[in-house]
Amino acid sequence: MEILHNVTINHYLGLSTVLFALGVFGMLYRKNAIIIFMCVELMLNAVNLALVSFSKMHGDTDGQIFVFFIMVVAAAEVAVGLAILMMLYRNRHTTDTDTLNDLKG
């Protein structure tokens, strides 16, 4: 448990930043809608991590409450988002975002 004392807030934030960056780059580079979706989740969790870290550091629970909200919203998002993706796949037999450009002006 000693090692945990050496872990400062900076480590948590560093991890959080890395996770967030991974999410962003994943979103930009991957074509598969499900992967993109997972990347979004990744970013959310990165934020969650940062919030929990700050909560721990300041010793109040506000951050953790935020996190619960985010988790609830994320759960709802998963439910809706996956449903949309399901329908999308049923209609188009693909989740490749390059071919899904119907909103092209």
Rule CB under 8 A: say whether 98 interacts with another protein. yes
Check residue 105 for interaction with another protein (CB under 8 A).
Answer: yes
Three-state secondary structure call for residue 73:
helix
Using the rule CB under 8 A, which residue among 55, 64, 94, 97 binds another protein? 97
The binder of another protein chosen from 13, 22, 27, 47 (CB under 8 A): 27
- Which two three-digit tokens encode residue 14? 């560093």
Taking the CA atoms of residue 11, residue 13, residue 19 and residue 20 in that order, the dihedral angle to the nearest 10 degrees is -160
Q: Among residues 3, 28, 59, 91, which is the contact residue for another protein, using CB under 8 A?
A: 28
State the minimum distance, in angstroms, from the CB of residue 47 to another protein. Answer: 14
Beta carbon nearer to another protein, 27 or 52: 27
Using CB under 8 A, count the residues that bind another protein.
Answer: 12
Provide, for the chain, the percentages of residues in helix, strand and coil under a 3-state DSSP scheme, each rounded to the nearest 5: 80, 0, 20
CA torsion sign for 70, 75, 78, 79 is negative
